[in-house]
Structure 1
Amino acid sequence: MQPVVHLVVGYICYAAYARWRFDGPPADAPVLAALVGAALPDLLDKPLAAAGVVGVGRTVGHSLLFVVPLVVVVWFSARARDREVLGVAFAIGIGSHIATDIPWHVLAGDYHELGFLLWPITPMPEYSGVKGLGTLPALEVTITTLWLEAVIFVAGVALWWHDGRTGLEAIRRRLGR
């Protein structure tokens, strides 16, 4: 999944949780925590791969052997500050990232590419790229994962806009604008 779509999915997941738990749209701080969680695996792994430290862009930050202990530490840290909602939001964000990297491999039958889940215990082969989901023979068009990601992106941005662009004002204040 494209990194920006991970952010959108993290937002959608946390917004759904906020509506269920708090009966309303999400607040700024938890949304930002969810977005940090949703971005973190790629923020760790893509630079490591680009620098040649690891062979592929899904290793440390995508491994459950790193993610699960990190979520526990973040949650306990947030709880100690009486801000459990931030720990939950971070867990939802990073969990959504890992969870949404799985279906494309399963749908394509590329199960061996799920090695990132327990890296370095399991190998992570080179990612084979965009997956085909099907074809529309009448139009001679192949539907790929990018099409579905585009739909998710548009829906997520629409939800964020509907929610009042949660988090944007907090970022502007932080940046002094």
Structure 2
Amino acid sequence: MQPVIHLAVGYLCYAAYTRWNRDEAPAELPALAAIFGAALPDLVDHPLHAVGVTPVGRTFMHSLVFALPVIAAVWLLMRRRDREILGVAFAIGYLSHIATDVPWHLFWGDFHELGFLLWPITYMPAYSGVKPLGTVPVLGVEATTLWLEAVILVAGIALWRADDYPGTKPVRRLFGRS
């Protein structure tokens, strides 16, 4: 899945959680925590791969061996500071990232590519990339997983907009823009 799609999925998952539990849109800081959690695996693993530290772009932060302790540490830290909701939001975002990297491999039977889930215990081959979904008869073009990812991105942005862009106010304040 493309990195930006993980941000949309993280937001969609956290927004669903807040609506289910409190019947409201996400608040500013928890929304930001969820989006950051969804971004973190790629923010760490892709640069490590780019500079040759790891063999593939899904290693440390994509592995449950490392992810679960990171999530637990963030949750415990936020709980000690009476900001447990930030830990929950981070966990939802982070776990949504890992969960959305799984389905295409299951659907296409590329089970060997799920090695990232327990890396370095299990082997992780290079990611095989975008998968075909079929041909669009009217257009005569092949639809790929990128098409579905585009729909997810649009849905995430639409909900984020409808919720009045939660998570942007702290960032705008940080850069001196209200």
For 1:67 and 1:134, locate their aligned partners in 2 and report how far apart those are by CA, in whole Å. Answer: 34
For 1:121 and 1:134, locate their aligned partners in 2 and report how far apart those are by CA, in whole Å. Answer: 35
1:91 is the counterpart of 2:69: no
1:132 counterpart letter in structure 2: P
Specify the alignment match of 1:105 in structure 2.
105
Report the TM-score when normalising by structure 1. 0.97
User: Which piece of structure 1 moves more, 30-39 or 138-147?
Assistant: 138-147
Q: Secondary structure at the match of 1:133?
A: strand
1:55 counterpart letter in structure 2: P
For 1:115 and 1:144, locate their aligned partners in 2 and report how far apart those are by CA, in whole Å. Answer: 23
2:72 counterpart letter in structure 1: V
Q: Secondary structure at the match of 1:19?
A: helix
Specify the alignment match of 1:27 in structure 2.
27
Q: Secondary structure at the match of 1:143?
A: strand
Specify the alignment match of 1:58 in structure 2.
58
Specify the alignment match of 1:79 in structure 2.
79
For 1:102 and 1:11, locate their aligned partners in 2 and report how far apart those are by CA, in whole Å. Answer: 18
Report the TM-score when normalising by structure 2. 0.96
Shift of 1:71: 0.9
1:171 counterpart letter in structure 2: V
For 2:156 and 2:35, locate their aligned partners in 1 and report how far apart those are by CA, in whole Å. Answer: 13
Specify the alignment match of 1:121 in structure 2.
121
Shift of 1:111: 0.9
Q: Secondary structure at the match of 2:7?
A: helix
Aligned residues: 177
Are 1:108 and 1:132, in contact at CA under 8 Å, matched by a contact in 2?
no
| Cα offsets for 1:20-49 (capped at 9, x unmatched) | 112100000001110111000001100000
Shift of 1:135: 2.4
Are 1:79 and 1:87, in contact at CA under 8 Å, matched by a contact in 2?
yes
For 1:132 and 1:112, locate their aligned partners in 2 and report how far apart those are by CA, in whole Å. Answer: 18
For 1:139 and 1:176, locate their aligned partners in 2 and report how far apart those are by CA, in whole Å. Answer: 47
1:165 counterpart letter in structure 2: Y
1:85 counterpart letter in structure 2: I
Q: Secondary structure at the match of 2:143?
A: strand
For 1:19 and 1:147, locate their aligned partners in 2 and report how far apart those are by CA, in whole Å. Answer: 27
Quote the sequence identity (%): 66
Specify the alignment match of 1:155 in structure 2.
155
Shift of 1:137: 4.2
1:131 counterpart letter in structure 2: K
Q: Secondary structure at the match of 2:125?
A: coil
Give structure 2 stretches of 5+ with no counterpart.
none
Shift of 1:172: 0.4
Cα RMSD of the aligned pairs, angstroms, is 1.0
2:112 counterpart letter in structure 1: H
1:40 counterpart letter in structure 2: L
Shift of 1:134: 2.2
Shift of 1:138: 5.1
For 1:175 and 1:20, locate their aligned partners in 2 and report how far apart those are by CA, in whole Å. Answer: 33
